[in-house]
Structure 1
Amino acid sequence: MYTHFAHTEMMNWRLSPLALAVIGSLVTPLANAETENDQIETLHILGDTYRNTATKTVLAPEETPQAVTVINRETLEQRQASSLSEAVRYTPGVNTELRGGAVTRLDLFNIRGFINYQNFYDGLAVPYNTWNLQPQIDPIAIEQVEVFKGPTSVLYGNIPPGGMVNMIAKSPQRDKAHRVTVSTDTDALREVSVDSTGAISETPLAYRMVALARQKDGQAGDSEEERYVVAPSLDWRISQDTLVNFNLYYQADPAAGIYTSLPAKGSVLHSDQGRLSSDSFSGDNNWNTYDREFLMLGYKVQHQLSSNWSLLHTARYTDADLLQKNMYHTKSSDGRHYPRNAYLTDETIESWVVDTQLSGDLSWGAADHYTLLGVDYQTMSSDVGYDDTLAAGSVPDIDIFNPNNNQVDPHALNFIYQDRHDIEVTQTGVYAQDQILWNQWVLLAGARYDEYELKDDQQTLYAGSPSTSEKNIRHYNLAFRAGAMYQFDNGISPYISYSESFEPTDMDNRGNVFKPSQGEQWEAGLKYLSLAGTTGLNLALFELTKQDALVNDPNDSYAKIQTGEIRSRGVEVELNHALSRDTDVALTYGYIDMEITDDPNLAGKTPVWVPEQTASAWVHHQLMAGLDVSVGARYVGESQGNANNTFTVPDYTVFDTALNYDLSQVDTSLSGAKLSLSATNLFDKTTYSCYDELNCWYGDERNIKAKIAFDF
């Protein structure tokens, strides 16, 4: 749809923060709002407690001298994303599905070459115990996804230097709206979801209720995926100055596909034994369990202290548990029969995350200051039990080219290695930031001090010999951030910024404590929004270095080693253009030159999972009243297949498409009913990803999905 912003709005950068916050991201299909009233309504959908991820203020991403990508709800629905990894597929600098299409139990991707397990939900960290228990937020509960590129430690503390992803939760609305959807696909999907919101009578209360039930076949073997979500929330407008929000998120995943891998030979690499199929499974159906359950309880309090100062206090409690039964294979002597070990993990998490922000909107002379003072606190207790058969012959070998996936007798397994961990993690951060609008300048400066502590009491029983150990890691860090942007009257805004990251590392699998990793980035670029509001462009050039980084051990597939330095430099481009009222296009390109620059064994090598080039295109066209169609293409370049860079994973291009039809065009009695058809990897292109010679995965097979939604 053709998008338009009034010329006077674009020329006047003294708009209120509320108006600025909804001018829309330059990096997603342009917003549909055409009037200021529509813009204010867009912000309301995000909720009164919404803050821009890049600054924790109500100012727009356009006023941030650092790259930010925003993926709104319309785009998520248009592309029918069923996971966070799928939601960020079209984001430059982000490489998703690192473990292929069959592994869906983790939201795993890297940003600017650096892997990211730590995601955020409504500005608060989702706890992750560094083992296997990572709560996943389903897109049914997400209003918007924001990808903040580069180091973000000044606002969020312990974060990899490549960036972070923040999922903005759906919030209660006073206007009534209800939606029921039913979906199916070519993997025998059976899915029903509900999304309902509105005011509760004439009271100051508004609610939101989101729920989902999903079952489908997994990509590999006879695996299955199953999920149930319930996520209610309640807004209580106590007074004009005070809003309290209560929110709950519950999710049960009784099944989550597979987590096993395949050897490189027979998949990525040629094998005289034959070629593996994309649904190959190296595990056993009798020992393939992933049962995850978690509950998150949270609240937010927003209070306007005065005309210039406001307080936002948010907190969330998480209780999660996981039982996993899985297998892994070791090196084969003939390239066909692979020895295997069985293991299980029994994991729990109990976590609190709290963030308190004091915001000031101050004017001193010609400068407007958006001042932020904050303190956040995280604590996590995690119990992890790990059992492994270890001994050769404990589990039958598998003929990978003619697999028998029903060989294991669970009652006959003998776990000769048992490991128990009692992990306690605490982190406290104090931060300050000032964002200044002065004439046509945007100036940003911030600093943060962190204290981090990890305790791990370990008890090990191996072949009847018990041992105990205790680790206590304590780190302190001071991080800085600064940037400047100049906003020309024609919509062009060049900028430059500097930012730092802090990432406490854990320990290797031999119990050795790693040093904390620190990163720094210089970024220069420009942001452009045409005066008519029909063209948006983001261009970013960056150089990012990470000291004391962890990489794969070339001599041990299941271990990490610490290097001196990794450098990542590159270019990211995002272009959105409304060709007409009926057609818009989104184009992206990313280039990353990543290299280990200081290490006695791996200097000059590129880490795995880092394609040198990525690109995407998404074209959306309104064919006629009530009918629109979209076509997308994603290119992922060649990447290294192992730490020593002795083989490569080939590049690929896949195509996606989506069609949406308003059924009221057929019969007015069907008003509110919409039919959606979508396809990912439309031409069923075979793709791969690899960690090393023993661990490779096939990418997503073709999937065609149909959904009907009823709005009332």
Structure 2
Amino acid sequence: MRSGAGEGKLIRRGALGAVVLAGVFTPGPGHTQDAAAGAPEKAIELPTLTVTGQGETALSPVTGYVANQQATGTKTDTPVLETPQSVSIIPADQIRDQNAQTLNQVVRYTAGVTPETRGAVATRYDQLKIRGFDADTYWNGLKLEDIWYAAPQLDPFLMERIEVLKGPSSVLYGQSPAGGLINQVSKRPTATPQNEVGIEIGNNHHLRGTADFSGPIDAGGRFLYRFTAVGLSEDGQIRMTENERVAIAPSFTWRPDADTSLTLLGLYQRDPEGNSYGGVPPQGTVLENPLGKIPVDFYDGDPNFEKFDRRMSSLGYAFDKRLNDALSVRLNGRWLHNEVAYDSIYANGLAPDNRTLFRGIATSREEGDSYALDNQVEGRFSTGAVRHTVLAGFDYQRLDANYAPGFGVAPSLDIFEPVYGIDVTPPPTNRTDVEGNQYGLYLQDQLRLDRFILTLAGRSDWVRTKRTNELGTTRQSDEALTGRAGLTYVFDNGIAPYASYAQSFTPQSGTDFSGRLFEPEEGTQYEIGVKYQPPGLNSLFTAAVFEITRSNLTTADPDHPGFSVQTGEARSRGVELEARVGLTQGLDLIGTYTYLDTEYTRDNGGLEGKRLAAVPRHQASGWAMYRMPEGSALGGLSIGGGLRYTGSTTNDANTFKVPSFTLVDAALSYDLGLLSPKLVGAEVALNAKNLLNNEHVASCYFGDWCAYGYERTVTAGLRYRW
């Protein structure tokens, strides 16, 4: 983030979303956020997916790539067609077909989302943008709190589906950025037994194993279980780096009767290696360097010092009770322990000789426990001709954490003749203890009159944060009122136009020259659109036009150098088109297009009138998966492919552009059960991402830091289900 007095300081979202402004230093690549401021050929009967976490209710099973119901946008089981805000849902079939192994890969074919702005280096974090702005990540409807470098990341294999809610969403979720949020929904116990094991190999010494077991424990089906696990070991694209993971996610459901359900969700995940977290300068990547081009696998750090070891443990619950036909209660909560050991040497600009790379040092040891709960009461009733779905809720978030970062200067590196294995003395660190609390009360009413659906919601939040370090203790309190209003009309032919208004808020820490605490950043969105679901066709077409404004951004105080004022503003306007179509039982299609016009509309630090960095004006994608008919000569074979286009982007100063790029993906799988009855349940799969090995720069996301995108990755796997 760069704005006025904030330049040259570490600015990061801290406890419960507050922004921490630390001591002056030259920021590294990891210290930025927004500036200014697949199914087999044979049909499988899917069990009903019962999701009871926050914002999740009993959802209908997904057919192919098309989900008819959503919960993230309303916290009720509402058809996508009736939701007055853009929501994209990526189901398990799509995740499997595309072999998506990070959240960034999962959302590659989603309108409005700019994934992998940090390219192939930032695999350890889920850094992406929605509608031009940073996005929050949620797990089963509850926010994933980060500390500093200890930001949680979940493996997509553990998820049943991903829901992307675009635009401000504070009215249901409390503090959140204006761009939107991504809700990751866990796989849950199933009433029908289903088991799967898999092994996969690929280039870069990729080795991955998966397991997923689920079913009833007793004959009556009152007790259900699920056990999901994944293990990964591979080399990073950046030389001398590795990526490793082991994760297990057990869950248990108790259903004493048809109206009651209690699910316990566990997780243990360790990532002992996380590739690198550096960058490359623009000279030699997107700008000419007279000495040559920087290699795609260039490593700006040092293996003697690099360290990334993250551990996460979690236990959550989801209780759902239907009291009668009109009233239901949902109680949801989670404890998450997150810790990380982090050491890094990172690029910090190129010398005038075009080969000497200045470098910095970042180190931190962090540990924290976050607690989140959301209690909801849902009522369905009528007043005359108007039918109501009323949701009242209270949610609470708490973070108890400590972090001890340190920053320094590392020896420079010759980018064309690098020498690694140097001795590095870690810089001194300063510990900060954080205690954060957020309380929220919200009320929503979905009113239905004939074919009209009017959605009204309001919320009040209270945020309290305390930080203690060697300089003493600071406290900050914030309050916010947010709302949303939307109107939808559903025609008989499946066309549903809508219009909506939504707000968001994000607390900020620090004070202005007079010592007055900064107020929360505010976000507002106006959106109009249309959704179309043709009767009798498994498909969903959506189109939206929107404008989002972020206000109360900090920018340089023109009257008091070194201080900031809250007069900054950024805006994003755009158009989104998305189509998900199941033309036949064997063909699934996805098509998307996004146009974004982003701009800093107010800023005292020279950004006014400039585009936001790393955000393209144009994005488009298309994916097709075809499963050959049973009985045909090629029965059992599935073929898929996709194109991803990302238009040109700019750096934060708008002094140069990053070229556009187009990437090709491909998928191939075969049901071995058609060869022999002994092989029923076995399937082989081959996936290639960036098939043509298009060498590209993903973005130049801040200052002099750019990132190469992924080269070609190829994996071959064997799965067995029974």
TM-score by length of 2: 0.87
Of 461, 470, 480, 1:450 maps to: 461
- Which of residues 503, 506, 510 in structure 1 aligns to 2:506? 503
Q: Deviations over 1:571-593 (max 9, x none)?
A: 00012334445433211000010
Q: 2:692 aligns with which of 683, 687, 711?
A: 683
- Corresponding residue of 1:492: 495
Residue 342 (str. 1) matches residue 354 (str. 2) = no
Q: After superposition, give the CA deviation of every residue in 1:607-628 in whole Å (9 maximum; x if it has no partner).
A: 1121111000011222342111
CA separation of 1:30/1:596 partners in 2, compared to 1, >3 Å: closer, same or farther? farther
CA offsets 1:249-288 (integer angstroms, 9 cap, x no match): 1100000000011111011211012101111101101011
Query: Residues 382 and 423 of structure 1 are in contact (CA less than 8 Å); yes or no, is this contact kept in structure 2?
Result: yes
Counterpart for residue 703 of structure 1: 713
Equivalent residue in structure 2 for 1:602, among 600, 607, 619: 607
SS in 1 for 2:404: strand
Task: Report the equivalent of 2:96.
Answer: 77
Is the aligned partner of 1:89 residue 2:99? Answer: no
Which of the numbers 267, 271, 280 marks the counterpart of 2:298?
280
Which residue number in structure 1 is paired with residue 623 of structure 2? Answer: 618
1:77 is paired with a residue whose SS is: helix
Partner Cα separation in structure 1 for residue 172 and residue 520 of structure 2: 18
Q: CA deviation at 1:123?
A: 0.7
1:291 aligns with 2:302: no
CA distance in 2, matches of 1:685, 1:38: 39
Q: Are 1:240 and 2:235 an aligned pair? A: no
Equivalent pairs, count: 657
Per-residue CA distance 1:121-155 (angstroms, 9 max, x = gap)? 111111112x2111111011100000011111000
Distance 1:33 1:595, change over 3 A: farther
Task: Give the Cα separation in 2 of the matches to 1:661 and 1:670.
Answer: 11
- Name the structure 2 match of 1:473: 476
Quick one: which of 408, 411, 419 aligns to 1:404?
419
Q: Which residue of 2 aligns with 1:637?
A: 647
Give the match for residue 463 of structure 1.
none
Output one character per residue of 1:298-355: Cα deviation in whole Å (capped at 9) or x when no partner: 1111112222111000010011110011012333242211232323110111110000
Question: How many Å apart are 1:221 and its aligned residue?
Answer: 1.2
- Name the structure 2 match of 1:462: none
Match of 2:670 among 640, 656, 661: 661
Partner Cα distance (1:133, 1:447) in 2: 32
Counterparts of 2:57 and 2:171 in 1: how far apart (Å)?
24
Give the C-alpha shift of residue 659 in structure 1.
1.0
Q: 1: CA distance between counterparts of 2:314 and 2:541?
A: 37
How far is the alpha carbon of 1:201 from its aligned partner? 2.5
Match of 1:188 in 2: 205
Which sections of structure 1, spanning at least 5 residues, go unmatched?
1-28, 460-467, 554-558
Q: For 2:678 and 2:689, how far apart are their aligned partners in 1?
A: 32
- From 530, 545, 567, the counterpart of 2:549: 545
**Counterparts in 2 of 1:59-458, with a 5 A limit?**
59-116=78-135, 118-129=136-147, 131-202=148-219, 204-331=222-349, 332-390=351-409, 395-406=410-421, 408-410=422-424, 413=425, 415=427, 417-458=428-469
Specify whether residues 379 and 538 from structure 1 end up closer, same or farther in structure 2 by C-alpha distance, changes over 3 A only.
same
Is the partner of 1:298 in helix, strand or coil? strand
Secondary structure in structure 1 of the residue aligned to 2:687: strand
Cα distance in 2 for partners of 1:677, 1:560 equals 53
C-alpha contact (below 8 Å) 2:57/2:71 kept by paired residues: no
Q: Look up the equivalent residue of 2:293 and give its one-letter code.
A: R
Deviation at 1:684, TM superposition (A): 0.8
Q: State how far apart, in whole Å, the 2-side matches of 1:236 and 1:453 are.
A: 36
Distance in 1 (CA, whole Å) between partners of 2:498 and 2:271 is 44
| 2:161 alignment partner, SS class | strand
Query: Displacement of 1:441 after TM fit?
Result: 0.9
Which residue pairs with 1:527 in the alignment?
531
1:549-568 equivalent positions in 2, closer than 5 A: 549=553, 564-568=568-572
SS of the equivalent of 2:78 reads coil
CA distance in 2, matches of 1:244, 1:451: 29
Listed as ranges, the gaps of 5+ residues in structure 2 are 1-37, 60-69, 558-562, 629-633
Name the structure 2 match of 1:573. 577
Deviations 1:4-58 (A, max 9, x none): xxxxxxxxxxxxxxxxxxxxxxxxx999999xx978x444489965671000001
1:640 alignment partner AA:
T
Provide the rounded CA distance (Å) in 2 between the counterparts of 1:484 and 1:30.
Answer: 36
Q: Is the contact between residue 326 and residue 342 of structure 1 (CA under 8 Å) also seen in structure 2?
A: yes
- Aligned counterparts of 2:511 and 2:610: Cα–Cα separation in 1: 21
Q: Is the 8 A contact 2:41 2:671 kept in 1?
A: no
- Amino acid across the alignment from 1:472: R
TM-score, normalization by structure 1: 0.88
RMSD over aligned CA atoms reads: 2.5
SS in structure 2 at match of 1:436: strand
The separation in 1 between residues aligned to 2:293 and 2:565, in whole angstroms, is 33
Aligned to 1:7: none
